[in-house]
Structure 1
């Protein structure tokens, strides 16, 4: 879906209510903008976290103990705790 959103002279723009509702931004909220070769991608915080987790899984695939708990345990061990 493509929609036109106007930007005011001071740089503000408004997302239509139906889109905010679908994205769970009814009471406001944060979105993240990513500039790509093709333009700008907007993501909600939940979408940005899910994307980061997917990328982390991709790079950690096949590596033993790639979770946060294992990382912290290794750091404690390295520091002598």
Structure 2
């Protein structure tokens, strides 16, 4: 879905009510803006956390990336 939203001279814009309802922002809230080479992405904090958790989960499933592996590596690097 593509919608046109006007930005005022002082930089304010309004999200349409339907989008605010679907995102749980009916009473206001916080969104994060990610600048991309071809535009911007608005995400709620919950969406951003879910994205970060999905990325972390992919890395956590690789061998040698557990906390124990990290601590063992640090212990080995310190020469103790």
Unaligned runs of 5+ in 2: 76-80
Q: Give the alignment's TM-score, normalised by structure 2.
A: 0.76
Q: Which residue of 2 aligns with 1:48?
A: 48
Distance in 1 (CA, whole Å) between partners of 2:54 and 2:44 is 15
Q: How many corresponding residue pairs? A: 70
Summarize deviations over 1:20-60 as a string: whole Å, max 9, x none: 00110011110001011121011011100000001111222
Distance in 2 (CA, whole Å) between partners of 1:54 and 1:42 is 18
Q: Give the alignment's TM-score, normalised by structure 1.
A: 0.75
Q: Which residue of 2 aligns with 1:36?
A: 36
RMSD of aligned residue pairs (Cα, Å): 1.8
In the TM superposition, structure 1's runs of 4+ consecutive aligned residues that sit over 3 Å from their partners are 63-66
